[in-house]
Amino acid sequence: MGGQLAEVTLAYETYGELNAARDNAVLICHALSGDSHVAQHDEADDPGWWDIVVGPGKAIDTRRYFVICANLLGGCRGSTGPGSVNPATGKPFGRDFPTITVGDMVAAQRGLLDQLGIERLLAVVGGSLGGQQALVWGTRYSDRVRGVVALATSARLTSQGLAFDVVGRNAILRDPHFHGGRYYDRPQGPKVGLALARMIGHITYLSREAMREKFEADRLKPRDVAIEFEKRFSVGSYLGYQGAKFVERFDANSYLTLSIAMDLFDLGVTAAELTAAFRPTRARWLVISFSSDWLFPPEQSRDIVNALIANNAPVSYCEVQSPCGHDAFLLPHDLDRYGEMIRAFLDQLTPAPHAAPAARGEAYGPTSIFYQHRLDYERIAELVPPGASVLDLGCGSGTFLAGLRATNHRRLVGVELDEQKILTGIGRGLDIIQADLNRGLGAFADGQFDCVILSQTLQAVQDVERVLTEMVRIGRTCIVSIPNFGYHRLRTMLAETGRAPKSAGVLHYEWYNTPNIRFFTIADFEDFCRQKGIRVHRRIALDTETKAEVFEHPNLNADLAIFVISRT
């Protein structure tokens, strides 16, 4: 966009060993204020900015992967940037440094990989601006990367986020010591402007919850730090300290260059534009957002995921519930979830992935609907056409989908709400999308799957009509299994003892720990289908206590039923 550079230098660091096949390389892309020093090389080394994730035995395990992290083009930590010498003048570029894009940054990284002799990356991992670089890798250079991990990022910055950047840049540009960007040979540079820009930026990295936790209890007890900014309130001393510390290691012109590149990044705003932008991808994706991140809000990650779904691209997604704001992906608070999802995802990308967790008992307690042997799984599996694409709604940790995978189905996708179950499913090499069924499934197109499954979940759904309507829209064939609350043992228990009914089969819950909020029968479900114009192709009634199929009076003698349905 802004000219040419005759030559480019990229400062980079590597960790671990490149294997003989040269297929274990993981590129980590840093955010605006990061650099190539992602982790310590040894105990004597300075701390890295992502030590909690990168290192021996950590989520990105340097005993298994060859990790590369390069300082961005336009940066100030060894790579070509505004502070580099312009060959045409013999002086630092300053504001003469060309306007660059995120695509330019990634093109430079691609050149680095060429120099290292790496044809294809195992994965690209990045958060924030680093996540935008990962998006470019996954869409523009998809043939060179097997997997993409995008954390706390977006296809373009919100107008609110853009506004904060504009104010930050103006703080630098209006600093009397900026001198049009030619301050390198002067006694003082735009330190105040850069510090203010960092302070403004830091506000966007924190959530309301994080602010309250850090500052509410002692808001009138600021830290005694040697700064020139207001220190009346604890939040002021904190921000002032962060700004002053940042000036010691960063260049104002690089801040301008990189923040403009981030603000210019735009893969599209409409669903159609985003779908087109992600159409070239051939990579597998893991997208993670954080609930309290208002700089890169979760809905923007869902827009990315929806575009990938529209292209039938393999993707897993989770919105991690976190109080930490945008900085969550850099902090240990939620590492047990986002870090382990990264670990599981990378593990399944390797040519010989580790064995998946055991299918039974890994995370289920006696109140879980998956606690006992799932007789309905076996019968449902028989009903799924060979090679069909399958969407499993309320898939849990992917037990059923993992079983189907052995029968060569062409696409298997799960929808689940629980974070830990999503993590387990990712560890099985499955594509799991976090979503609340009650809010609809608009990301999926009409007839996108051969078969949609809703197994022992309907009784826990709030908006039954919406879920079933969406189900028959998305699937050419749909399979629903339901517990039958008309089962004779339940009728007897309620009538004779006056107690909340339960049985030894699928209806084994106590009244106080049941996940069920809908209490309906086989006859009720059949009436519903008739009223809503849903065609029932087949019904299988089961007694899970005796593990037998029921043919006589199923509404009385079966405690579970399976229906094959579709639009009329």
Based on the domain organization, do 254 and 269 belong to the same domain?
no
Based on the domain organization, do 428 and 553 belong to the same domain?
yes
Which among 293, 303, 327, 347 is annotated as catalytic? 293
Q: Structural domain tally of the chain?
A: 3
Q: What are φ and ψ of residue 146, in 5° steps?
A: -80, -40
SS (H, E, C) 96-133: HCCCCCHHHHHHHHHHHHHHHCCCCEEEEEEECHHHHH
Which among 326, 431, 543, 559 is annotated as catalytic? 326
Based on the domain organization, do 461 and 503 belong to the same domain?
yes
Rounded Cα gap, residues 132 and 222, in angstroms:
36
- Structural domain including 196 reads 163-259
Question: CB of 311 within 8 A of CB of 279?
Answer: yes
Rounded Cα gap, residues 565 and 72, in angstroms:
54
> Which of these three, 242, 259, 276, is where a domain ends?
259
Residue 293 annotated among the catalytic residues of the structure = yes
Rounded Cα gap, residues 392 and 407, in angstroms:
16
Residue 234 annotated among the catalytic residues of the structure = no
357 within a domain of the structure (yes/no): no
Residue 326 annotated among the catalytic residues of the structure = yes
Based on the domain organization, do 152 and 168 belong to the same domain?
no
CB atoms within 10 A of CB 203: 15
358 within a domain of the structure (yes/no): no
Based on the domain organization, do 170 and 134 belong to the same domain?
no
Q: Which residues pair with 68 in a beta bridge?
A: 14, 27
Angle, CA 439 vertex, CA 436 and CA 442 arms, to 5°: 100
The candidate with the shortest Cα–Cα distance to 217, out of 235, 205, 202, is 235
Based on the domain organization, do 439 and 551 belong to the same domain?
yes
Based on the domain organization, do 306 and 455 belong to the same domain?
no
CATH number of the domain encompassing residue 519:
3.40.50.150
pLDDT per residue of the chain (568 residues) written in tens, 0 to 9:
568 898 999 999 999 999 999 999 999 999 999 999 999 999 999 999 999 999 999 999 999 999 999 999 999 999 999 999 999 999 999 999 999 999 999 999 999 999 999 999 999 999 999 999 999 999 999 999 999 999 999 999 999 999 999 999 999 999 999 999 999 999 999 999 999 999 999 999 999 999 999 898 888 888 888 788 888 899 999 999 999 999 999 999 999 999 999 999 999 999 999 999 999 999 999 999 999 999 999 999 999 999 999 999 999 999 999 999 999 999 999 999 999 999 999 999 986 664 454 443 344 333 333 334 567 888 999 999 889 999 999 999 999 999 898 887 889 999 999 999 999 999 999 999 999 999 989 999 999 999 999 998 999 899 999 999 999 999 999 999 999 999 998 898 888 888 887 777 666 788 788 887 888 999 999 999 999 999 999 999 999 889 899 999 999 999 999 999 999 7
Task: Tell me the two tokens of residue 244.
Answer: 């002053």
354 within a domain of the structure (yes/no): no
Q: Which residues pair with 538 in a beta bridge?
A: 564
370 within a domain of the structure (yes/no): no
234 within a domain of the structure (yes/no): yes
Based on the domain organization, do 239 and 131 belong to the same domain?
no
Based on the domain organization, do 519 and 435 belong to the same domain?
yes
> Which of these three, 224, 239, 259, is where a domain ends?
259
Classify residue 134 as exposed, middle or buried by CB count within 10 Å of its CB (0-12, 13-18, 19+).
buried
Angle, CA 329 vertex, CA 73 and CA 121 arms, to 5°: 50
391 within a domain of the structure (yes/no): yes
365 within a domain of the structure (yes/no): no
Based on the domain organization, do 88 and 204 belong to the same domain?
no
252 within a domain of the structure (yes/no): yes
Question: Burial code of 61-80, b = ≥16 C-beta within 10 A, e = fewer?
Answer: bbebbbbbbbbbbbbbbbbb
> Which of these three, 259, 290, 320, is where a domain ends?
259
Question: CB of 348 within 8 A of CB of 426?
Answer: yes
Based on the domain organization, do 196 and 248 belong to the same domain?
yes
CATH number of the domain encompassing residue 297:
3.40.50.1820
Which among 33, 128, 254, 455 is annotated as catalytic? 128
CATH number of the domain encompassing residue 217:
1.10.1740.110
| Residues 6 or more apart in contact with residue 249 via CB below 8 angstroms | 77
Based on the domain organization, do 276 and 252 belong to the same domain?
no
Question: Burial code of 517-553, b = ≥16 C-beta within 10 A, e = fewer?
Answer: eeebbbebbbeebeeeebeeeeebbbbbbeeeebeee
